[in-house]
Amino acid sequence: MTIHAFRMQLKPGTVEEYRRRHDEIWPELAELLHESGIYDYSIFLDEQTLALFAVLKLADDNRRDALPDHPVMRRWWDHMAPLMEVQPDNRPVEWPLVPMFHLD
């Protein structure tokens, strides 16, 4: 198991829509993430900067690298692109976060 943390960036005025879309996450997307070895996934918002901070756990045999090629993932990225900073293919821009401290 690996913990992966990263930052993303919302556009102004999109917080409530971002929350609504995640509250109504597509069942096929949730299933795809689980089948890909992603679990215990949380996203947090810094309300002052609109930065999103995501933390997830990856199973040792995860297939996260295959997600960009999956049609459900592509559709989700297209759906979310108007709300956040994205790459040309609508994949969210991610900035990796460096672990600095952990307490069990």
Interatomic CA distance for residues 2 and 41, integer angstroms: 12
Tokens of 39: 């679990």
Domain boundaries, the chain: 2-96
pTM of the complete model = 0.92
Give tens-digit pLDDT for 27-61.
Answer: 999 999 999 999 999 999 999 999 999 999 999 99
pLDDT score recorded for residue 44? 98
pLDDT bucket at 24, cuts 50 / 70 / 90: very high
Second-level CATH architecture of 2-96: 2-Layer Sandwich (3.30)
Active site residue 34: no
Which of 4, 22, 34, 102 is the catalytic position?
22
**Contact yes or no for 53/97 (Cβ under 8 A):** yes
pLDDT score recorded for residue 88? 97
Interatomic CA distance for residues 37 and 34, integer angstroms: 5
